[in-house]
Amino acid sequence: MQRALAAARGVRGRTSPNPWVGAALVRDGRVVAEGATSPDGGPHAEARALTGGERGGTLYVTLEPCAPFPGKRTQPCAEAIIEAGIERVVVALLDAEPRVRERGVELLREAGIEVEVGDGAAEAEALLRPYLKHRETGRPYVIAKFAATLDGRIAAAGGDSQWITGEAARERAHEQRDWVDAVLVGSGTALADDPSLTARPGGQTAERQPLRVVLDGRGRLAPEAKLFSEPGRTLVATSHEASGAWKVAIAGTGAQVVECERDGAGLNLDQLLAALAERGVLSIWAEGGGAVLGSLFEGGHVDEVWAFLAPSIMGGDGVAAVGGAGVTRAADAFRLRERTIEELGDDLLVRGYAGDWSPQLQ
């Protein structure tokens, strides 16, 4: 199962809207073949592990093999396993896809194949959280990221924010951008920093780029902004308040313009997240600014937090990492679950799960 999990990690984020799955075929106590899910429309992990033509053995797979359903473009993995004469299948997790859940296991057992469920479940669940949330709720998995001082400032009072954290922290953020489906910022951040919002792990522009999503309800972003000329796709979420001429100009850059309803001072984020999920976006790396992160927290949309903290203090009227109305009592503050703390050069990375959603128990 560890070999199957490693294969799945190797394609994380490369298979959306399908899950990133790994498989390992064992015969006579040794791994004879491995496979991982191909990009959307290609063979699944089980099929790739069974291409050698040999028959029999035990197949370890990180997610329940898929079953037939209307509109399916590839052979169901349960059928491929049966045809290959596999004698035993070890499954880490049952599938969260309603058209598959428990049906894949049922087909295998009906064919006389021994099936075990649960080995590696915790690791597979952590790896597949974006996929599981998407299939269970119809919404993307949102990771809130910010780089701040110890007193929670992401920029000085004058707006300067480069660079609060060091190179190691910035590299880690680019590694995250490299696998997620979308990077999201507000127009304030886009105007202040003119970011490219590309994934550049190791200082090199990655071949695959996440969708760049900018929230701009009033139509302030210029068509000449750097992010419109970078590799990859851009989506600008706006409202009826933005002028038609501006929307035409933004669309002229090749970006997609999506109009959302207003929700208080900002855009209706629930509506936007639903639209992104329908486009196959499973994971979102939300980089701010503070107003956007505040709205995401207040709307209950944040599933995970990555807080990069520098050993420095700004004080004064510096910009807060998370804005919005906030809470009135300390006891009501958002708290992280399953927290980890990691040193990155001089900085600290504090991570943890947030919000009410957790994967359904197997």
Q: Where are the domains of the chain?
A: 2-127, 132-353
Quick one: DSSP state of residue 201? G
Indicate the class that CATH gives domain 132-353: alpha beta
Q: Is 46 one of the annotated active-site residues of the chain?
A: yes
Q: What stretch of H or E contains 172?
A: helix 167-177
Radius of gyration of the chain (CA): 22
Long-range contacts of 191-194 (CB under 8 A, 24+ apart): 191/220, 191/221, 192/155, 192/159, 192/161, 192/289, 193/161, 193/162, 194/225, 194/226, 194/227
Q: What stretch of H or E contains 214?
A: strand 211-215
CA dist 355 and 362 (Å) reads: 20
Amino acid identity of 272?
L
Distance between terminal CA atoms of the chain?
A: 17
Q: What pLDDT is attached to residue 160?
A: 64
CA dist 112 and 86 (Å) reads: 10
Residue 66: both structure tokens together: 């898929």
Q: What is the CATH number of domain 2-127?
A: 3.40.140.10
Q: What pLDDT is attached to residue 318?
A: 76
Q: What pLDDT is attached to residue 71?
A: 66
Q: What is the mean pLDDT of each run of 10 residues along the chain (362 residues)?
A: 97 94 94 92 90 85 90 83 95 93 94 96 96 96 95 77 86 96 94 91 94 96 95 96 96 96 89 96 93 93 96 84 86 92 96 92 58
Alpha helices in 71-163, H assignment, sequence order: 77-83, 103-110, 121-127, 129-137
Sign of CA dihedral 40, 46, 47, 52: positive
Active-site entry in 34, 46, 298, 304? 46
Q: What stretch of H or E contains 295?
A: helix 290-298
Q: What pLDDT is attached to residue 52?
A: 76
Q: What 3-state class would DSSP assign to 95?
A: coil
Q: What pLDDT is attached to residue 161?
A: 63
